[in-house]
Each structure stands twice: as structure tokens, then as C-alpha cells.
Amino acid sequence: MDTITTTKALKRVCKDLAEQPFVTIDTEFLRDTTYWPRLCLVQLAGPDAEPVLVDPMVEDLDLDPLFKLMGNEQVIKVFHAARQDLEIFFNLSGTIPHPVFDTQVAAAVCGFGESISYDQLVRRVTRVDIDKSHRFTDWSRRPLTDKQLRYAAADVTHLVAIYEHLRERLEENGRAHWIQEEMAILTSPQTYRSDPERAWMRLKLRVRKPHELETLKRLAAWRETEAQERDVPRGRIVKDDALYELASQMPDNEQALAHVRALPRGFERSRNGKSILKIIHTVRGLDEKSLPKVPRGERRPQAHPAVVDMLKVLLKQVSEDEGVAARMVATVDEVEAIAADDNAEVPALSGWRREIYGEVALRLKHGQIALAVDKSKLKRIELGKSVK
């Protein structure tokens, strides 16, 4: 197999791959000590193309030909568990590969279970056991060994057969549009944008007062910006526990900051410590009217437990009949929401999930169908009119 280390070679390879109906892709990266994932290797293959490995760590290698291939609408880009790979391409190029086919998602709707791993899927589709001994290797070290290169290539060679198998299954069971719905979410830029102003939303809301919430928002935004600019993990700036403690105590001087248990000794004298004190001082000076309201959590209408249990049984029956992982169809929270509200804004009441479960759940709830046991197997019985 070839390892691409020059822009000229990458252009040639990408030109050849652009003639393929689909390209299988995988990446190897590190992000233990950085905010942004550090791309270490890109693997590519096609149905009529030998696997190639692209070394993005070569200083003079221009990845623009690869980014253009990723944006070629005539070539389907096939990944397994694509989210982190797509995030990498979005961070490097500002665009997301398209069109995309995620074999992990497709496998879930074709009866292979939820979040199946690549090696398990390879075994079940091709009957081949692949070596995963380099799963936790340091891909940034050079040179890469022959064994590492073979391991990396295997992540895209078997993906060709898997894609062809899943595509055929989807055509047979008429579920291709299910995948299109899932891919629309997966390839949305909004999925990968790291907006510092929204960073607080990933934290647990352990605040009770408007000043505390505003402090938490501003501290989270500051930390996110610092982590992005310095390319270090968020926890290297300030840990989550420290943010919660700072928001609740709102220390207004170095001495008070030194008593925050979640901060390391001497932090109050650092540049970060001064930045935090400045943020807290600003929030303390805000007028009450300019502060946000603390969300109290929407009180969802409570459904009768028996209704919830009935819809859970239906979910099990539907998922078994359709050969789809139950959690892929609806979560427990979604089932409870449907039990309480016919118009609940949950994924299970839209798109393909509504087709196979949501609509049936509403009909069961209103007595238009019933569940019965036939030869040790659950089945649905049409009742017609609603039961009052």
C-alpha cells in the first residue's frame, strides 16, 4: 500500500478516487493533551482502488486535494462512527464531507444492534477477525511500523464490503430514507461548532441565583475561548468543579479566590486567576434586570405509570419486529413524554421513528389497537374506534 507524503501524490490519488462511486475513510488522531484533535493519519480506499494512507504530519503536505474530494457530491464518503472524523475535517477545512454514509448508524437500523464496533461488524459481515492491538497506539510517532500501517489500512479495506452489504440491506427493507434523515443531522455544521457563548450549556446547572448563572455563563465562555486559543483541554484551564464553586461563591479578591477548594494552590496569583476575578467583579456590578432567569426545569405532564409500561412493551415489540435497536427508536424519556403528551417534541414522534413507533404508540394509547400474545409472541390487534 502507498503512504502519501507529497502534495503531488495526494492530488493524483484524490483524482483517481474521485472516479469511484464511493470512498471509505478513517482517521487516526490524538486529543489527550489538546483542545482540537490532532490529525495523524488518513486512510482511504474504494471498490476499485487499493488502500492509501495519507500522512498529514508531513510539514509541506497540502491537504486541499483531500478536502475537495470530501466535498465532491458525486462520491459517497463512507465512515464507521463518523462523528469524530467529521469533526476533524470541519475543524481543518471549515466544511463537512458530503454526502456521507455512516456504517454504524446503518448497521443499527439493519438489525446489528446499537453502536456496534467496527471489528464486530467486520466479523459478522465478512467472517474476518481483524487485529485491534494498535487501537491505543500513539499515531503521532514516526516512523510508523509496517504492522501499524497494515492495521490502519484494514480500517478502510473491509469497510468497502460492509458498505455494499448494508446498502443492499437498506434497498431490500426500504430504509434508505431512514439513513438520509440521520445523515442530515450528522453532517450539519451546527453539530460541530464550539461556540464559547454556548459552552455553559454542556455543564450541569448547579446554580440557584441569577448572579450565579451569569457568572457560570461568563466563566464557561472564557474557559472555552482560552482552551481553543491555547489548544489545550478545558480541564487544563479550570475544571468543571471549580466553575461550579466559583459561580456559587463569587470570590471578589485574591484572598477569597485562594479559598476555592477546587483550584490549585497559587492559582489566585496567576493570569487566569486575575481573569476570573475580573469576570466576577463585572457580574457583581450588573443590575438585577440585566441578569438571566435561572431555568427551573419544565414540569412535564405526568403520565400514568401503566401507560408508560404499556408503551415500553410496544417499543420492545416494534424494535424486535423491525430488527432495530430499541434505543435507536426511542429512549425511556421519549416514551414517558409520549405517554404524557400526544404532541411531545421528541424524535420518536418525527420522521422514520414516527412511522414505525410513534404513530403506533399514539394509537395504542388511545385504544385503537391492542397488544396480545400469540404463540409466545406479541402482536398488535386492530380495534378500530378509540376506547373511551
| Residue-wise pLDDT tens digits, 137-158 | 899 999 999 999 999 999 999 9
What does the pLDDT look like over 78-116, one tens digit per residue? 999 999 999 999 999 999 999 999 999 999 999 898 889
> Residues 68, 19: contact at Cβ < 8 Å?
no
Same domain, 8 and 79: yes
331 located within any domain? yes
Contacts of 92 (CB under 8 A, 6+ apart): 39, 63, 67
Q: What's the rounded Cα separation, in Å, for the pair 168 and 317? A: 25
Asked whether residue 345 falls in the same domain as residue 283, the answer is no
pLDDT value at 385 more than 80: no
Q: Are 181 and 210 in a shared domain? A: no
pLDDT of residue 230: 96
Which pTM does this prediction carry?
0.86
| 220 assigned to some structural domain | yes
Distances (CA, A) of 278 to 251, 260, 274, 275: 10, 16, 6, 5
Cell numbers linked to 268? 489566585
388, part of any domain: no
Half-sphere exposure of 378 (CA within 13 A, CB side): 14
| Dihedral over alpha carbons 154, 155, 161, 162 (to 10 degrees) | 150
How crowded is the C-beta side of 134, counted as CA atoms within 13 Å?
20
Quote the CA–CA distance of 78 and 159 in Å, as a whole number.
8
Say if 282 falls within a structural domain. yes
**Domain final residue, candidates 125, 158, 191:** 191
Q: Which residues form the domain of 275?
A: 196-290
d(CA 48, CA 41): 22
Q: Higher model confidence: residue 302 or residue 65?
A: 65
How much is the pLDDT for 387?
Answer: 45
Assess whether pLDDT exceeds 80 at residue 220.
yes
Residues 6+ apart with CB under 8 A from 23: 17, 44, 45, 46, 49, 69, 75, 76, 77, 78
With CA atoms as reference, report the closest residue to 88 among 97, 78, 100. 97
Lookup result for grid cell 461563591: 249
35 with 182, same domain: the answer is yes
% of the chain exceeding 90 in pLDDT: 80
pLDDT beyond 70 at 386? no
